Chains A and B, each alone.
Chain A
């Protein structure tokens, strides 16, 4: 069934990719062929609208015409002065840049294909190394088999990168499939912030199967932001893997805006003592959109900390699912693990599903999980109106505030304000 999707796998003629990578791609292609499509009967696909996800409807993206490439480049507005910036359209590299000062410190910021060629050994131990745990094995196999675009960031020991590094992934045309990847390797005591913008040219239906690996070494700090702003017809699957060593800290924030069906899987593996992870998501769902979110907070060491906050605002007939599991291994004593899901229902026909889970095998653990679903608070509405704000604007502002509480957790101010702008552009009145 995968023939059409696999025919255009990255060409290896001009730029030889490492053998191990090509071998893995072959194996992944075979896995994609043999693995069954998941069904709603699978625990990790409960409530999902799987009908929306048929890879056969799509073919690997073809390059965009030069005029369009230029237009997309000029529309890739990001930060005023990012530490690095990369733009892809239909999985082809359009532009790439890294601050020379960082390059001089040994920072690598490379398109992933180039990184595979020039620093293959560095990627080998990290790229797609984690076993999928949340149900997307088949889709991740396709991602691996088709992987050609994305960014690789390597931060040497002790290097701190203040400004974020940004990647734009555009998709244009219709029926196109893209497979963006972001791999971040932050060595001991280093820090960096990385943002992926996923954007469509036009309203057509395309497919994205994206994944990222965040490898946070001892005492390192990585903040990763993904903005899923695909067209409203598109199908999006995104898998985040965060591995945190002792004393390290990760933050992943997902802003989910686009797509007709959008699945995000996020796993935090707290592998070393004292490792920390914040897992954040803000979702605006309207029309018939479905946002299917699966998470795992995997505590493998003592004194680890994880904090999940997922917020969904739902209009119309939109649907959200948040299924989250906290798992604390037997020796992971004194773990703190929190999980909060908040749903704001803006229409009687919207549907918010929350499926929390706990598996605690250690002692002296502080865990809490809770999901709440509510509507706009009439007192807040009246307070705003009493200041002259029209009810339609008050609805918008209260909804913004609800989701902005998630964005407020991101320390980088300029990036946060860009996310706020993207969010504002997406919110409706009432």
Chain B
């Protein structure tokens, strides 16, 4: 059981190519991290997997437990078990956070079935408590006026409520203070287990101290250019990306 990205080529609709033959396999039960320079295509990869309409796939496939999801609508992908924690969560004025999450859960039920309200609020409050999100956030409009850190916590809350089988967390650590980072990491770790595969996109080794990955990848120029154990993150932290780019160039000209 895994999320397989095979030789993925993609571009902005009618624009330049951003992913150029990307390969990655996220097994259930494992946590993979992706690091890479700004603009290397990390968020694009996550959005393409989630089905963002701004991008078109020009080659390759994405298999969720063996099923190619590239032809599916974004909502169907989510219901199939995929989750994306956005780098920039979107504000939805006038829709309360509680109603939003409820609609997402309701969408997973068969037609005619109704979500049980008391049970729902019980679960919601439990997860909010774990992430130390005050109760008042249920009534507030989705992400509207939330601080950067509050938005990220809210993403992790949604993930906890939706219980995906594969989750991509795009810079969920950015905007978090040290305390919040620990809380959010604990929230993510609580969801870790044999039934979920995770892809954690980050710029900072610090996050990986809390959410210790099984594998670390480096994404440069729309491709995975290096894969190693958690020690790779430390190496990147101290040396940056230039040495990898240099090695790549050397290899290309060799």
A pairs with B: yes
Residues of A within 8 A of B (CB): 377-380, 382-391, 393-394, 397-398, 400-405, 408
Query: How many angstroms between the C-alpha atoms of A402 and B75 in the bound complex?
Result: 21
Binding site for A on B (CB under 8 A): 50-53, 73-75, 77-79, 83-84, 86, 89-95, 99-101, 103-104, 107-108, 141, 158, 162
Q: How far is the CB of B53 from chain A (nearest CB, A)?
A: 7
Is there contact, CB below 8 Å, between A388 and B89? no
A398 to B92, Cβ gap below 8 A?
yes
Would you give the shortest CB distance from A274 to chain B, in whole angstroms? 29
- Residues of B near A408 (CB, < 8 A) are 94
Nearest Cβ on chain B to A407's Cβ, whole angstroms: 8
In the complex, chain B residues whose CB is within 8 Å of the CB of A405: 93-94, 141
CB distance from B13 to the nearest CB of A (A): 12
Q: Given A382-B53, A382-B74, A401-B141, does the pair A387, B94 have CB atoms closer than 8 Å?
A: no
Residues of B contacting A393 in the complex (Cβ-Cβ under 8 angstroms): 103, 107
Alpha-carbon distance between A393 and B75 when the two chains are bound, in angstroms? 11
Residues of A within 8 A of B89 (CB): 383
Given contacts A383-B90, A397-B100, A397-B103, is CB(A388)–CB(B95) below 8 Å? no
Bound together, the chains give a CA A338 to CA B139 distance in angstroms of 26
Once the chains are docked, how many angstroms separate the CA of A426 from the CA of B76? 26
A405 CA / B141 CA spacing, docked (Å): 9
**Do B53 and A378 have beta carbons less than 8 Å apart?**
yes
Task: Assess whether A386 is in contact with B95, with CB atoms less than 8 Å apart.
Answer: no
Q: When the two chains form their complex, are residues B95 and A398 in contact, meaning their CB atoms are under 8 A apart? A: yes
Q: Which residue of B lies closest to A378 (CB)?
A: B53
Of chain B, the residue at the smallest CB distance from A379 is B90
Point out the residue from B52, B75, B86 that lies within 8 Å of A388, measured CB to CB.
B75
Contact between chains at A389 and B103 (CB < 8 Å): yes
> Do A388 and B162 touch (CB < 8 A)?
yes
A391 to B51, CA, bound (A): 13
Chain A residue, CB-CB nearest to B77: A386
Nearest CB of A to B182, in Å: 26
Contact partner of A397 (CB less than 8 A), chosen from B74, B77, B95, B158, is B95
Min distance, Cβ A253 to any Cβ of chain B, angstroms? 14
A384-B92 contact in complex given A390-B75, A391-B75, A397-B100, C-beta closer than 8 Å: yes
Q: Which of A377, A385, A400 contacts B95 (CB 8 A)?
A: A400
Contact assessment for B95 and A404 in the assembled complex, using a CB-CB cutoff below 8 Å: yes
Contact A387 B78 (CB under 8 A): yes
Complex Cα gap A388–B84 (Å): 11
Q: Give the residues in chain B near A400, CB-CB below 8 Å.
A: 94-95
Beyond A386-B74, A386-B78, A389-B107, whether A403 also contacts B94 by CB under 8 A is yes
**Inter-subunit contact B92/A388 (CB<8 Å):** no
A-B contact pairs, 6 of them (CB 8 A): A386-B74, A390-B75, A397-B92, A401-B92, A402-B94, A403-B94
Q: What is the bound-complex CA distance between A380 and B50, given in angstroms?
A: 14
CB distance from A401 to the nearest CB of B (A): 3
Across-interface contacts of B84 in A (CB, < 8 A): 386
Closest partner residue, chain A, to B75 (CB atom): A385
Instruction: Enumerate chain A residues within 8 angstroms of B73, measured Cβ to Cβ.
Output: 385, 390-391
Contact among A377, A385, A387, A394 with B158 in the assembled complex (CB-CB below 8 Å): A387
CA distance A379 to B47 in the complex (A): 12
Q: Which residue on chain A has the smallest CB distance to residue B81?
A: A388
10 tightest CB-CB pairs across the interface, nearest first?
Answer: A401-B94, A401-B95, A388-B78, A383-B90, A385-B74, A387-B104, A404-B94, A385-B75, A405-B94, A388-B107
